[in-house]
Amino acid sequence: MMNVKRFLSRFFPVIPVALVLVPLFFGGGCANTTTPPTGGKKDTIPPVIVGLKPLPGAVGVSPHKTQIYITFDEYVTVKDPKSIYLSPPLEKNPRYRMRGKTLIVYFESDLDSNTTYTLDLTNAVADNNESNMYPGYTLTFSTGDRIDSMVVTGTVRDCNTLQPIKGATVMLYKDLADSALFLHRPDAAVKTDEWGFFSLRNIADTLYRLYALVDDGANNLYDPENDKVAFLDTIFRPTIVVNDTLPELLKYDMKDTVNCMARRSEHELYIFREKPTKQMIVNKERVGLRTAYLTFMAPNAQIDSIWVRGFPSRKLILQFNLQRDSLELWINDQRKRLPDTLHTFVDYLKTDSLGQLQPYTEHLRLSSEKVRAASKSSRRNLKHEDTTCVVKVTAEPERVEQYGFEFEFQYPLINEHFDSLRLISVNPRQQESAMKFTVTRDSLNLRRYTLMPVDKLQSGYEYKLKVPYRKFRDVNGFYNDSSEVKVSLPKDDKLSRLDLVLSEVHYYYIVDLLNEKRDRVLRSYRISSDCTLPFPYLKAGKYSIRITEDRNNNGLVDTGSLLEHRQPEKVKFYRLKGGSYVLDIKESTELEQPIDIAKLFAD
């Protein structure tokens, strides 16, 4: 029986064939199924469907109190009820119960008349004993006299990383109005798989709008405050006719890279989060005796003034993030004892009940109870750095030419003497000489500074940066310790170099070199014209090149707008002629890679 089951599972994934072979499971040659096996190999074969009601492709199914019976060849359990998915979706998700080896799916409301439905079981069911997952099946039936026969396919990706989005809800609307996504459920829907791939099958031959949601509310309606969205720019009509042999409609093991990647994807959708339309303060916290932060619901908060009771405005240090939806606040007053509660007043434009921005003064009470409690509990374990102006100075050999010596202070400075720093070069004969340098403060983080040598760094030289004692003082009144940082340019003969020759550059772009996993930026440039970008000191390995369109030169991937039909700013990974997005760089090589930016972003 195990051989028969393995044969069915491997060669007959289409359910009607399995139904034809049902008698094989119940003939006299089978073992006594009421007696459990006493040994043998572990069962690794997933369950097989041996009975369906209604049958696949059934028409005239009653829309009232509809129940679907799915019988397996063994006892099963539902691992993920949310993966039992009906399209078009109803107001409430399908319900289920088990009766022996039969899964009964039912609905809390009537189905619509004259409608083709698909019920998908992907990632929902596993066998009872070994938890072997059933690969999935889509049952199609109609409450009318015909089955819709078209299909559309595509892929959903994150707009920033281009990574596939698993579990996104892809939705089709016959209602072509922009408001449809907000007001009613779709005419067809499906979930994306681990490759971000979807196939919406058995849909009508008509015009549609296509959307995708990361639907936090799981209600098949778009909530801009909580959900992420993607959309197709144009109205479209499906062109592919359903055929059960189509690779795009088959159920694959998600580890089967060859078959999963071979599926045809008609449309690419890029998920983004819209800027919230409501503006208000959504979070506040006092994280230190002199430190607090505020976060706003929407970016670009318009603040007229901020003041704290008992402290003049000149004693406040304020810093917004780049999106202007988060604000850090420090009190620069070491002489005055700070109260348990900071009464903070913020004059800003807040969204009223009519959705309009209006001047508003909000009174925030920032308590230090948690801060003081933590301070008392840790007083016995007080460390030297708890009473010191803490600064982290970094200089990485592979990055120091571009990024210099990077300073990051734990708290803002109230006194600084960068002119007291000493930058010294040591040549191969150990002769020392002083070097000139410049210091700039980060425009987005007032606690970060960059020290850049004026003269070009040379291979074979060592560079020492000496930070004297008590030359920097932070808002807590603490002074820094002395420190020294040493760095030399890499001299390993096995290191390689990559030069990107960029042409047809007509806008602002951000060019990043990433590691193979695409989770770390190794070196970054911002460009606005044709140029050659050097990426030296690369170890043998695999890398990716990410290029981001930044038309307004704000250093961000600006999000899109559904109602304005505006897609997020484009992100592209450079793809080699063979189709790979990965540059495999060998030891001791120098590569020159030309990239036509206009052509890259036209694809």
Q: What is the mean pLDDT of residues 74-83?
A: 92
Domains 150-271 and 281-377 share a fold: yes
d(CA 47, CA 9): 8
Structural domain boundaries in the chain: 2-142, 150-271, 281-377, 385-488, 496-602
Q: How confident is the model at residue 379 (pLDDT cuts 50, 70, 90)?
A: low
- At residue 2, the pLDDT reads 46
Q: Is the pLDDT of residue 317 over 70?
A: yes
Identify which has the larger pLDDT, 42 or 112. 112
CATH topology of domain 496-602: Immunoglobulin-like (2.60.40)
Q: Is the pLDDT of residue 168 over 60?
A: yes
Identify which has the larger pLDDT, 106 or 43. 106
* 448 within 8 A of 432, measured Cβ to Cβ: no
Radius of gyration in angstroms for the set of CA atoms belonging to the chain, rounded to a whole number: 31
Q: Is 2-142 a domain of CATH 3.90.1150.10?
A: no
The pLDDT tens digits of the residues spanning 50-67 come to 999 999 999 999 999 999
Q: How confident is the model at residue 218 (pLDDT cuts 50, 70, 90)?
A: confident
Q: Is the pLDDT of residue 22 over 90?
A: no
Q: Token pair for residue 39?
A: 């040994």
CATH classification (class only), 385-488: mainly beta
The pLDDT tens digits of the residues spanning 555-574 come to 877 889 998 899 999 999 99
Q: Which residues, in sequence order, are bridge partners of residue 394?
A: 406
Q: Is the pLDDT of residue 223 over 80?
A: yes
* 317 within 8 A of 475, measured Cβ to Cβ: yes
Buried/exposed code over 563-576 (b: 16+ C-beta within 10 A; e: otherwise): eeeebbbbbbbbee
Buried/exposed code over 301-332 (b: 16+ C-beta within 10 A; e: otherwise): beeeebebeebeeebbbeebeeeebbbbbbbb
The pLDDT tens digits of the residues spanning 134-148 come to 888 999 999 999 999
d(CA 401, CA 487): 11
Q: How confident is the model at residue 374 (pLDDT cuts 50, 70, 90)?
A: low
**How far, in Å, are 287, 294, 375, 412 from residue 474 at the CA level?**
16, 21, 19, 6
* 295 within 8 A of 438, measured Cβ to Cβ: no
d(CA 526, CA 545): 13
Provide the strand spans (E) within 289-436.
291-296, 303-308, 316-320, 326-331, 341-351, 357-367, 391-394, 405-409, 413-416, 422-426, 432-434
The percent helix, strand, coil of the chain (3-state, each to 5) is 10, 40, 50
Q: How confident is the model at residue 36 (pLDDT cuts 50, 70, 90)?
A: very low
The pLDDT tens digits of the residues spanning 322-332 come to 889 999 999 99
The pLDDT tens digits of the residues spanning 272-297 come to 999 888 999 999 999 988 999 999 99
Collect all residues with Cβ–Cβ distance below 8 Å to 503 and sequence separation of at least 6: 530, 594, 595, 596, 597
Q: Is the pLDDT of residue 26 over 70?
A: no
| pTM of the entire predicted model | 0.78
CATH architecture assignment, domain 281-377: Sandwich (2.60)
Other Cβ atoms less than 10 A from the Cβ of 127: the count is 20
Distance of CA 208 to the CA centre of its chain: 27
- At residue 41, the pLDDT reads 60
Q: What is the mean pLDDT of residues 417-421?
A: 97
Q: Is the pLDDT of residue 529 over 50?
A: yes
Q: Is the pLDDT of residue 20 over 50?
A: no
- At residue 418, the pLDDT reads 97
The pLDDT tens digits of the residues spanning 182-198 come to 999 999 999 999 999 99
Q: How confident is the model at residue 517 (pLDDT cuts 50, 70, 90)?
A: confident
Average pLDDT, the chain: 89
d(CA 295, CA 289): 19
Q: Is the pLDDT of residue 456 over 50?
A: yes
In the three-class reduction of DSSP (H, G, I as helix; E, B as strand; rest coil), residue 386 is classed as helix
* 144 within 8 A of 169, measured Cβ to Cβ: no
Q: What is the mean pLDDT of residues 418-427?
A: 97
* 73 within 8 A of 9, measured Cβ to Cβ: no
- At residue 596, the pLDDT reads 96
- At residue 555, the pLDDT reads 81
Q: Token pair for residue 414?
A: 């109230």
d(CA 137, CA 121): 5
What percentage of the chain has pLDDT greater than the value 70? 91
- At residue 21, the pLDDT reads 38
d(CA 524, CA 544): 12
In the chain, the amino acid numbered 272 is F
Q: How confident is the model at residue 375 (pLDDT cuts 50, 70, 90)?
A: low
CATH classification (class only), 150-271: mainly beta
* 18 within 8 A of 4, measured Cβ to Cβ: no
Taking CA 138 as the corner, what is the angle to CA 169 and CA 192, rounded to the nearest 5 degrees? 25
Other Cβ atoms less than 10 A from the Cβ of 403: the count is 15
Q: Is the pLDDT of residue 205 over 70?
A: yes
- At residue 130, the pLDDT reads 80
Q: What is the mean pLDDT of residues 98-105?
A: 96
- At residue 549, the pLDDT reads 94
d(CA 571, CA 425): 41
Q: What is the mean pLDDT of residues 360-384?
A: 75
